Amino acid sequence: MSILTTLGGGSGIDTAQLVSDLVAAQRAGADALLQSRQEKVDARISTLSQIKSALSSFSTALNALVSSGSLGRQTVSSDSATVAASASGTGEPTNISTTIEVQQLAQRQTVASAPVADRNAPVGEGTLTISFGTVTGAFPTPGGFSPNGKSVTITIGPDNNSLVGLQQAINASDSGLTASIIQDSGGARLVIKGETGAAQGFTIDGSAGLEAFEFGPGASGMTWSTQAANAVIVADGVTVERTTNSVSDLVPGVKLDLLRTNTGAPLTVTSDYDQQTLKDSVGNYVAAYNELMAMFAEATQPGINGAVAGPLAGDSTMRDLKRMLGGLTSKTLLAGDGPKSLAEIGIKTNRDGTLSIDDARLSAAVAQHPGRVHDMFVPGQTSSSPLLEVASAIGAIKTGSYEVTNVVAATASTAVGSSVPTAFDTPVVIDASNKSFTATVDGRTSLTIYLPEGSYASGDALASAFQAAINSDPVLASFGVGVTAGWDGSAFTFTSKSLGMASAVTLGGLDGTLAAVLGLDAMTSTAGTNASGTIAGQAAFGSGNVLTASYTSAAKGLAISVFGNVTSATITVRDTISGMLADIEKQLTSTSGAFTTASARLSAEAKRIAEEQEALDLRSDALKERLVKQFTAMERAVSAFKATQSYMQQQIDMWTNAEN
C-alpha cells in the first residue's frame, strides 16, 4: 500500500493527546520525586509542630499542678466546726502547730424599735444622727459612749416617712449599718445592725418627732439587743482580740474563720504536706513524661528491619530535645541535706528514655523529706531577712542567689502642726461655723470634709475625728489614699498612708481661729522618701517601698517589698522541674533555638520544592510548545501530501478514461 493511501484524508493522529502524553511521560519521574519530597517535608513539619505542642502542654500541665497549691502544705483544724482554717495570701503556711481557744466571737451591735402596726404608716420627720464608737454599760442598759469621730446624718421627710422609708434611708447611707424590718406578734420592728468589733457600736440621736428611734445613754427609744464585741482568742496561751471573726494576722499564712466558742477545750491548727498527694503528683509527672517519650519514639523510629521510618528519624532537633529531657532526672535541684535530684527520690531513667518509679524509695522520700520533694516541683523565692519580701511573680527572675545590701526603707510624707500644748485646757468646740475643710493627699484633693460637731476634750479624740473624716471622703477613698492623724501632747501630725516621694499631705480651708488654736495655721511638711539599696551589686530603683533590680543586672526582674532597714540579705530563687521545662521550651523556641532553626530549615526545603516544581512546569511548557510546533509542521506536510495525492489521482483517472 502506498504512503498516500495510508495517510488517507489526513494524519489520523490525535496530536493534542499525543503531546500531552509525551510531556507527562517526560516529567513523570521528576513529579514523583518532588511529590515524595513534599510529603516528607509536610510530615516533618506536622510532626515537629505536634512535638512542640506536646512539650508546651506538658510544661503547662506541670505549671497548673504547681500553681494549684495542692502540693503545698495543707492547713488543718482539729475542730473545723469551731474554727475553719485555710491558707491565706499568695504564699503557703510554714510548718505550724498552734493551739486556739475561742472565748468570745466578734459581735455586731443590734438595736430594735418598738413595734408599729403598719410598716408603711408615718413615723415622724426630721433627722437621725448616728455616731460610731464604743458603747459601755451594764447590758442591756447603755451607760456611756466613746465616739471615734465617725458619724452620719439621715434625713427623714415626706417621701420616706415610714418604717420602710427609715430602713431604705439607713441602708443607702453607706455607713456600714444594715437595717431590716422584722414582723412579730406585736407588729413591725426596725432592727439596725452595725459591723463587728467593740469600737463599731453606735448611738442614735433623733430630732423632735423621731425620739422613738433614739438609742444611747439616757435614751428610751430603741432596745439594745446585742452588744458590739471583739473576738477573744487564746493562741498558744496568749490572749488577743480581733474586731472580726475572720482572722488572717494571728497565725502566719493561715486564715482562721471563727464559728463558735470552745472555752476550756482548745483545738489545734496544723499545716503539713500530704504524702499521698506528693506521691500521686510524682506519678502523674512520670506518666505524662512517658506519653511524651512515646510520641518521640514514634516520630523518630528508624526505618530498619522492615519498619516504616518516622517523619523525624535522624532529626538533630529531636536528639537535642531527648538529651535535654533525659538530663532532668539527674539534674541537681536543691542544695543542703537530703535528696537533691529526681533520681534521689526514686525516679529512674530506663534504657528507652522513659521513666519509672522506685516506689519504696519515693515513699521514703515523701515520708522523711516531703518539703524537698515539694521544692523540686514548686518554684520558690525566699529572703533571708523578714524585712524583705519578694514581690516579683514566680518565674520572672532567673534562678540563683542575689545579694541585697544597704537597704533603707521608704518613709511617708508628714504634715506637723505648730506646738500648742494648751490647746485643750478647755474643750475645743466644733460646730457649723468651723467644721469644714479640705485635704490633699498624695496629689488627690477631697471634696469639702466636715468634722463631727461636738465638744472635744483631748487632742487624741479630735485627731481620731480628723482621721475618720478625711479617710471617709469619697474622692480620696476612690484613689485608695488616706492619712493617719495623731496628737503628741502638743501638736497634731498627719501622715500619708502611702510611702515614698509621691506621698504628701496638706490641709486647707480651715476656719482661721480654729486653725490658730490647733496649731494648724503654720504646718511643717516633710517629704516622703523612696526605698533605696543595691541588688546584685547595682543600685536598685526605688518606688515607694518597692525596690526593683537594675535592668542591666543579673537580678533583672527582681522586685522587693521593703519593710525596714537591712544591711545585708540574700534573695534565693530556686530551680525546679517546672522551671527547667520552661527553660528548655524557651531555649528550643528562641531565635536560634532548635525548633526555630528546624522550622526554618523545613520551610526552606518546602520553598525549594516549590521552586523546582515551578522550574519543571516551565520546562514542560517549553517541551509542549516545541512538540506542538513539530506536529503542526507534520500536519502541514500531511496536508501537502493529500493535495498531491488528489492531483495525481485526477491525472490517473484522466489517463485511464483516455485509454478507454
Residue range 491-537, pLDDT digits in tens: 999 999 999 999 999 999 999 999 999 999 989 999 999 999 999 99
Range of weakest confidence among 4-8, 284-288, 342-346, 577-581: 4-8
What are the Cα distances from residue 151, in Å, to 147, 205, 436, 481?
A: 9, 11, 14, 20
- Which helix (H) or strand (E) segment holds residue 241: the answer is strand 238-242
Predicted confidence at residue 211, as pLDDT, reads: 94
pLDDT at 572 over 80: yes
In angstroms, the CA 629 to CA 318 distance is 53
Q: Which residues contact 21 (CB under 8 A, 6 or more apart)?
A: none
pLDDT at 538 over 70: yes
Predicted confidence at residue 5, as pLDDT, reads: 37
Q: Which is higher by pLDDT, 368 or 61?
A: 368
Q: Which band of pLDDT confidence, cut at 50, 70 and 90, is reported for residue 92? A: low
Render 140-202 in DSSP notation, one character per residue.
TS--EEEEEEEEEEEEE-GGG-SHHHHHHHHHTT-SS-EEEEEEETTEEEEEEEEEESGGGEE
Quick one: average pLDDT of 456-460?
92
pLDDT at 93 over 80: no
Q: Which three three-digit cell numbers place residue 584?
A: 528548655
| DSSP conformational letter for 581 | H
pLDDT at 321 over 50: yes
Whether the pTM exceeds 0.75: the reply is: no
Quick one: average pLDDT of 610-633?
89
User: How many Cα atoms sit within 13 Å of 237 on the Cβ side?
Assistant: 0
Could you tell me the strand order of the sheet in which 246-247 lies? 83-87, 254-258, 246-247
Predicted confidence at residue 7, as pLDDT, reads: 35
Predicted confidence at residue 660, as pLDDT, reads: 61
Beta strands 483-487; 187-196: pairing state: unpaired
List the end-to-end C-alpha distance of the chain, in Å, as a whole number.
26
Q: Which residues contact 561 (CB under 8 A, 6 or more apart)?
A: 388, 389, 390, 391, 545, 546
Q: Could you tell me if 451 and 466 are in contact, meaning their C-beta atoms sit under 8 angstroms apart?
A: yes
pLDDT at 2 over 70: no
Give me the torsion for CA of 462, 463, 465, 466, rounded to 10°.
120
What are the Cα distances from residue 216, in Å, to 153, 221, 285, 419, 456?
A: 16, 9, 65, 36, 19
In angstroms, the CA 479 to CA 465 distance is 21
pLDDT at 9 over 70: no
pLDDT 10s digits, 470-482: 998 889 988 999 9
Predicted confidence at residue 378, as pLDDT, reads: 80
Q: Report the DSSP beta bridge partners of residue 184.
A: 187
By residue count, the chain amounts to 660
Q: Which band of pLDDT confidence, cut at 50, 70 and 90, is reported for residue 91? A: low
Round the average pLDDT of the chain to a whole number and report it.
Answer: 89
In angstroms, the CA 341 to CA 331 distance is 6
Q: Could you tell me if 580 and 331 are in contact, meaning their C-beta atoms sit under 8 angstroms apart?
A: yes
Predicted confidence at residue 4, as pLDDT, reads: 35
- Which helix (H) or strand (E) segment holds residue 45: the answer is helix 15-67
Predicted confidence at residue 246, as pLDDT, reads: 95
